[in-house]
A = this chain, B = another copy of it.
């Protein structure tokens, strides 16, 4: 089943204790698309400026990603992010951010994408996320991400969005902020009262927690001895998860459990190298192998 993602495409500069990479490809939609494309065809909706070096976008060539929804906007500049993990590998410090084209009009969903049934709305203004949904009348499963900025500045629009989506994926700090609950299980349960049928709380190196009705799933992260660059881990997690769900055309709890494990594993490849390199160096076979390994690691 085809999976549509809308999100950011950016040119990143990233510093970690293992080095500095300048002007590499990044953005939620890129990480998500690459990760999901191990499982299912992906439809990408995003926008860059005409300053974006074409070779950066080549990262998706040869992948099962339809870029009909990728707009190169003339006269605009690509989103840029400069982040540092020098102080804390678990939380990026933003050195500089230029929204550029992301602050302009949103990209359009091509007509050929409007029958998409699986949709991931990566983090952006909740009003934009809702507008995207208006153009996706066929969707069967909509999952969204969000961030602190919208929780604090656009609570009303975020709440409207939450009533229209099936799943919310967010990190622990965002879940606490959204619900005013310190305890993550309590936070997850509160999110469910706001609309979504399920919520996934990403805890970085500590794994993830899913709540759906009164069902709970908890998974640790895949143990990694070396984390080179955590950028894109959350988007890769979401890509692996949604890619698997779309590939199964199902999202029952047993399928969601497997999908969470695939998200966990795909993210573990992302953080093993800078930018997209970790994903570029893996294969579906290696992902499946590590997925079985994660099952062994956690079984008793």
Contact = CB atoms under 8 A, between A and B. Distances in A.
A260 B300 contact: yes
A299 B223 CA distance: 17
A261 interface: yes
Nearest to A225: B185
Contacts of A225: 183, 185-186, 189
A217 B298 CA distance: 6
Nearest to A293: B216
A184 B222 CA distance: 12
For A186, A218, A300, the residue with the greatest tally of chain B CB atoms inside 10 Å of its CB is A300
Interface residues on A, range: 20 to 34
Contact of A257 (B182, B189, B299): B299
Interface in A196-246: 203, 206-207, 209, 216-221, 223-227
Contact of A219 (B217, B227, B298): B298
Contacts of A224: 183, 185
B223 A216 contact: yes
A27 to B, nearest CB: 27
A11 to B, nearest CB: 29
Given A183-B226, A225-B183, A219 B300 contact: yes
A257 B227 contact: no
Interface string A245-264: 00000000010011011000
A220 B260 CA distance: 14
A29 to B, nearest CB: 27
A68 interface: no
A294 to B, nearest CB: 8
Interface in A28-81: none
Contacts of A299: 257, 298-299
B217 A297 contact: yes
A247 to B, nearest CB: 15
A48 B225 CA distance: 43
B223 A300 contact: no
Interface of A: 89, 182-186, 189, 203, 206-207, 209, 216-221, 223-227, 254, 257-258, 260-261, 295, 297-300
Closest 3 CB pairs of A and B: A257-B300, A206-B206, A218-B220
25 contacts: A89-B182, A183-B226, A185-B224, A185-B225, A186-B225, A186-B226, A189-B225, A203-B206, A206-B206, A206-B220, A207-B220, A216-B223, A217-B297, A217-B300, A218-B223, A218-B297, A218-B298, A219-B298, A219-B300, A220-B220, A257-B299, A258-B300, A260-B300, A298-B298, A299-B299
